[in-house]
Amino acid sequence: MRLLRFPGEAPAWTALLPRSQPAWLLPRRAWPTERLARKPSRVACLQPAGFFGVLAMLMLVGGTALAQGPTYGIGTTPTEENIRAWDISISPTGEELPPGRGTPEEGALVYRQKGCAGCHGREGKDGRAPRLVKREAEPSTDPWDLGRILPIRAPYATLVWDYINRGMPLNREGTLTADEVYALTAYLLFINDVIPDDAVMDAKSLPKIEMPNRDAWAPLPDWKPGMPRLQGYPY
């Protein structure tokens, strides 16, 4: 937008000043004259409110134009195969488990080959990373008292498979094959006395494993809107 003015008229920017602006604040050549009094400036109609209204309209039109702009051909629409590759979550029922198999003996070999001992220790303990084997305790010990051991605290064996598959090895996540994940899962379950040494873990047998902490999770409270989140919880 260009603001036009006739020779001798006040500069265009003066139209943006409040009407009560003293004349001595304006440049000398912009002081009111008899000629200006007789001939209104063409920019007189551009009052502050009108100016900002026009500015808002231009911004709205510009934003709409950007929103409808071209895509520049960056990226592609994901295919069903791409989505399946990203959808790696495994539910308690294990219906999403891929084909494959593994035994505790095979898992012990994978544990050494993939460098798991470098973080978790040679026997799943005394490493920089969390323990993988429970501490010695009586059979009647509450699973929650055995430590933060994934194969012990997980209520479903499929969750152990899911975690290894998506999160291990550290900084090389997603590099394990399905057979290697089954084998590592079997190895961790074996060293925690969940399965025997001759068990074979696959998509059918893994969901059937009865985990030590299966029924030790707190039941869901009978909650309704407006009630405290937990009984006795102060917030």
Is there a single domain that holds both residue 162 and residue 58? no
Q: Can you give the pLDDT at residue 58?
A: 62
Q: Can you give the pLDDT at residue 74?
A: 84
Find the CATH number of the domain harbouring 97. Answer: 1.10.760.10
Is residue 43 in some structural domain? yes
Is residue 81 in some structural domain? no
pTM passes above 0.85: no
Q: What string of pLDDT tens digits covers the 235 residues of the chain?
A: 444 444 555 555 555 544 544 444 444 444 444 444 444 444 444 455 566 666 666 666 555 545 556 677 788 888 998 887 788 899 999 999 999 999 999 999 999 999 999 999 999 999 999 999 988 888 788 888 888 899 999 999 999 999 999 999 999 998 999 999 999 999 999 999 999 999 999 999 999 999 999 888 766 667 778 877 666 666 5
Is residue 79 in some structural domain? no
Is there a single domain that holds both residue 117 and residue 197? yes
Task: Return the closest-CA partner of residue 161 out of 146, 147, 176.
Answer: 176
Look up the domain containing 49 and give its range.
12-66
